[in-house]
Amino acid sequence: MRNLRFKISWGVFALFIFTNGVNAQSLNWSGYVRNYTGILLTEKNEYAIIQNTFNLNIEHSKDRTAFKINPYIYQYPNQDLEIGLREAFMDIYFDAVDLRIGKQQIIWGKADGVFITDIVSPKDLSEFLLRDFDEIRMGVTSLKANYYLGDNTFEFVWVPSFLSTKMPGESSIWFPQLEFPVQPTFDYSQNEVPAKLGNSEVFAKYSAITSNIDFEIMGGYMWDDDPTMHIAKTIDSLTSQLTELAVTPRYHRLGLAGGSFSTTLGGFVLRGEGAYYRGKYFNSEDPALADGTVKRDYLHYLIGADYTLRGVRLSSQFVQQAILNYDDYINNDEYENTVTLLLSKEFLRETLRFELFSYIGLNNSDALIRPKIIYNLVDGFELLLGANIFVGNAGRFGVYDKNDIGYTKIKYSF
Amino acid sequence: METTKIKIVLIAILIAVPTLIFSQTKITGLQIIENVYNRETGNDMQGDLTMSLINSRGAQRVREIKQFVKDFSGMEKKIMFFVSPADVRNTSFMNWSYDEVGKDDDQWIYLPALKKVKRISSDSKSDYFMGSDFTYDDLGDRHPTDDTHRLLREETLEGETCYVVESIPKDKEYMYSRSITWVIKDKWIGLKKEFYDEDEELLKILLVKKYEKINDYWTVLSSEMHNVQKDHTTKMELADVKLDTGISANKFTERMMKRGLK
């Protein structure tokens, strides 16, 4: 606690020195303060979350340079403050080239709420997929270089040090429950990717916007953001019973190539996105495998459409993941199909908005349904009332069937 | 000699009267609206747009936008950067509209929370812009051939002699059943416009409150749209207007949508 106080004091002092040194008048300050309170919709009505957030954006630009820092603080009752930097980068602008150096969120692709080619910034899954857009993607320390030729953009990203998906803590209601036939032992000795040049990630993208179509073509040599669970089994030779399981989480390299497009057809906006992943590890029940994993290529793609009908914005996407060279021992389905739906309508001169977003898993008939009502009491002051309803017993969403939540978010932007 | 003079006067009258009559009846409603549509506004323009939304109780909400417009061959490109309120700051919107009749605009929006540029459909031109009383179509240049125009009369308004033109949309599904525009003679500015709803009831009145000649171009600097049915109003004011400064074509790109006003 003393250490935390020291960090906060140092942070405030540094900010004071910094803002005075850079002429605070020319700094651009923005951000928000937010209270987020969620209640589990069970008989006990326990709190799922009580969170106070302070999010600050400090920006400055001069001639052909600029910087931005985005510190944030999450405060939870009876817990230490969670302090971090979502972004902290510098920009250098040349005539046809922009360079961005530092911690930054990099977002690619045309999909909404689905991560196919959007794989540069890893995800913060502390609250599964429920966090806001700007909070679910983590900043990565990287060098981004963009070269522009008219409406064409060539982008190159170098990530010197791998950052994995942030998973929920073991005490969290969002911690994924892994089922094993016997109590396993975990070996975390290989659960890190050493920070060295050879372990860098690189990504490249070509994109263009035209009057007919927008598109992106991308590729990457990266690490799988999620560790593979290598499982060593010990079987009693006399009884042939499984006696011991040793689980070793380990990260693996992945290569991928993909692209996306967006175009209009009549009143519709049609979107598509797809990627070919090379060398993904899947868990398998094949008894011939020593560590319970198998390496396969797979495809991940979607097609979607947006349309506005009498002021109601409608959007739907069909998403499929397909494992190539599939065998029946693999734990995952050969094809996993998901549909997303969005309905949104604004009232009272855009001060009141109703929105319904849902993921529907077709393989397990499960779903996540997210209705919300947002009211702008005055400009920059937002009241949100919403719910996250999980449907089903199995599947990506069904496993959280006991985690239905009703929540409010009150947000003051400045 | 006297006879000759009389002959000359008679000939002059014979030439002048039909010419005067012809000149007064020559201009049609379509020509007037075409003159408004084709009024020279410069090759590019930039300015600070302030939009005040006033409800029936007089409460006011303000939106501030920095906008840039430039003519290209066969098209016009516009980019808008939202400055306030705080929750929409750094949002940007780009529109490419085409001279080609029937070709829909292309539109993109950049939302800083999403950190990506999204193509959106321009089909919903009847949607209201940022909660104001202006629809997207009200803000754009509606092509004269989209309506049938009829010159109703001439009358003086705000000290200006105006043509009064009725315009009826050819598309029967259009959001307005008709509109009536008061166009200032010679300046070709629509000084006032009445919009009628599907039931032929008066819906909105647009009044131009201030216009000036900047760089030899008549430029509207202040206007007000009043929704008479809901009794709310939107004021639009354009300040710090600069014309023909040679805005770079690079301003109207995805790069700038993401970068913002830096």
DSSP bridge partners of A323: A298
The whole-angstrom distance between A378's CA and the closest CA on chain B is 8
Is B232 in Cβ contact with A413 (below 8 Å)? Answer: no
Instruction: Please report the pLDDT score of residue A236 as a whole number.
Output: 83
Indicate which of A99, A379, A414 best probes the interface with B, i.e. most B CBs within 10 Å of its own CB: A379
B262: chain A residues, CB-CB within 8 Å: 59, 61, 66, 91
Residue B233 lies in a domain: yes
Nearest to A412 by CA among A380, A384, A383, A386: A380
Decide: helix, strand or coil at residue A217. strand
Residue B232 lies in a domain: yes
Instruction: Please report the pLDDT score of residue A7 as a whole number.
Output: 56
The whole-angstrom distance between A235's CA and the closest CA on chain B is 50
Q: Which domain holds residue B115?
A: 30-259
pLDDT tens for A163-212 read: 999 999 888 999 988 777 788 889 998 889 999 999 999 999 999 999 99
Q: Are A213 and A229 in contact (CB under 8 A)?
A: no
Q: Would the pLDDT of A132 be above 70? A: yes
Q: Taking CA atoms, what residue in B is nearest to A262?
A: B119
DSSP bridge partners of A60: A67
Cβ contacts from A onto B, under 8 A: 102
B109 touches chain A (CB under 8 A): no
Q: Are B156 and B164 in contact (CB under 8 A)?
A: no
DSSP bridge partners of B62: B52
Decide: helix, strand or coil at residue A228. strand
CA distance A122 to A220: 14
DSSP A332: S
The pair of three-digit structure tokens given for residue B139, joined into one six-digit string:
């803000």
B106 touches chain A (CB under 8 A): yes
Instruction: Please report the pLDDT score of residue B69 as a whole number.
Output: 96
Residue B239 lies in a domain: yes
The DSSP line for A122-152 is PBB-TTTT-S-HHHHBPPEEEEEEEEEETTE
Instruction: Please report the pLDDT score of residue A9 as a whole number.
Output: 54
B152 touches chain A (CB under 8 A): no
CA distance A148 to A155: 9
Q: Are A325 and A334 in contact (CB under 8 A)?
A: no
DSSP A330: B
pLDDT tens for B58-99 read: 999 999 999 999 999 999 999 999 999 998 999 999 999 998
Q: Given the structure tokens 């410069």, which residue do they identify? A: B42
Q: Are A382 and A410 in contact (CB under 8 A)?
A: yes
Residue B42 backbone zone (phi > 0: left; psi -120 to 50: alpha; other: beta): left
Is B232 in Cβ contact with A380 (below 8 Å)? Answer: no
- Round to the nearest angstrom and report the end-to-end CA distance of chain B: 80
Q: How many CA atoms lie within 13 A of B37 on its CB side?
A: 15
Residue B12 lies in a domain: no
Q: Would the pLDDT of B198 be above 80? A: yes
Is B253 in Cβ contact with A306 (below 8 Å)? Answer: no
Q: Are B140 and B134 in contact (CB under 8 A)?
A: no
Residue B1 lies in a domain: no
Q: Would the pLDDT of A20 be above 60? A: no
Q: Give the dihedral of Cα atoms A187, A188, A190, A193; nearest 10 deg.
A: 170
Is B86 in Cβ contact with A269 (below 8 Å)? Answer: no
The whole-angstrom distance between B209's CA and the closest CA on chain A is 23
Instruction: Please report the pLDDT score of residue B143 as a whole number.
Output: 87
B262 touches chain A (CB under 8 A): yes
* Average pLDDT for chain B: 89
pLDDT tens for A334-347 read: 999 999 999 999 99
pLDDT tens for A246-284 read: 999 999 999 999 999 999 998 899 999 999 999 999 999
Q: Taking CA atoms, what residue in B is nearest to A61?
A: B262
* % of chain B residues with pLDDT over 70: 90
Give the predicted TM-score (pTM) of the model.
0.87
Q: Compare CB distances from B254 to A32, A153, A376 and report the shortest one's residue.
A: A153
CA distances from A41 to A273, B102, B167 (A): 36, 52, 57
B89 touches chain A (CB under 8 A): yes
State which H helix or E strand residue A97 sits in: strand A97-104
pLDDT tens for A205-237 read: 999 999 999 999 999 999 999 999 999 888 888
Give the pairing of strands A293-309 and A268-283. antiparallel
Instruction: Please report the pLDDT score of residue A11 as a whole number.
Output: 58
The residue-averaged pLDDT of A115-120 equals 96
Q: Compare CB distances from A413 to B87, B119, B259 and report the shortest one's residue.
A: B87
- The total number of residues shown for chain A amounts to 414
| A173: Cα separation from own chain's centroid | 18
The residue-averaged pLDDT of A307-315 equals 91
CA distances from A202 to A205, A218, A220, A271 (A): 11, 11, 6, 26
The DSSP line for chain B is -HHHHHHHHHHHHHHHHHHHHHHHHH--HHHHHHHHHT----SEEEEEEEEEEE-TT--EEEEEEEEEEEEETTEEEEEEEEEESGGGTT-EEEEEEESSTTPPPEEEEEETTTTEEEEE-S--TTSBGGGSS-BHHHHS---GGGEEEEEEEEEEETTEEEEEEEEEESSTTSS-SEEEEEEETTT--EEEEEEE-TTS-EEEEEEEEEEEEETTEEEEEEEEEEETTTTEEEEEEEEEEEESS---GGGGSHHHHHHTT-
A108: chain B residues, CB-CB within 8 Å: 116
The residue-averaged pLDDT of A385-393 equals 97
Higher per-residue pLDDT: B104 or B53 = B53
CB under 8 Å, gap of 24 or more: what pairs does B81-86 form?
Answer: B81/B260, B81/B261, B83/B261, B84/A379, B85/A379, B85/A380, B85/A413, B85/B61, B86/A30, B86/A32, B86/A379, B86/A380, B86/A413, B86/A414
Nearest to B99 by CA among A309, A211, A327, A17: A211
Is A148 in Cβ contact with B55 (below 8 Å)? Answer: no
Per-residue confidence band for B22, with pLDDT thresholds at 50, 70 and 90 = very low
Residue B61 lies in a domain: yes
Q: Which domain CATH number covers B44?
A: 2.50.20.10
Q: Would the pLDDT of A399 be above 50? A: yes
Indicate which of A264, A347, A376 best probes the interface with B, i.e. most B CBs within 10 Å of its own CB: A264
CA distance A159 to A195: 11
Nearest to A151 by CA among B255, B207, B136: B255
**How many domains is chain B partitioned into structurally?**
1
CA distance B75 to A378: 38
* Average pLDDT for chain A: 92
Instruction: Please report the pLDDT score of residue A12 as a whole number.
Output: 55
CA distance B49 to B139: 12
B52 touches chain A (CB under 8 A): no
Residue B19 lies in a domain: no
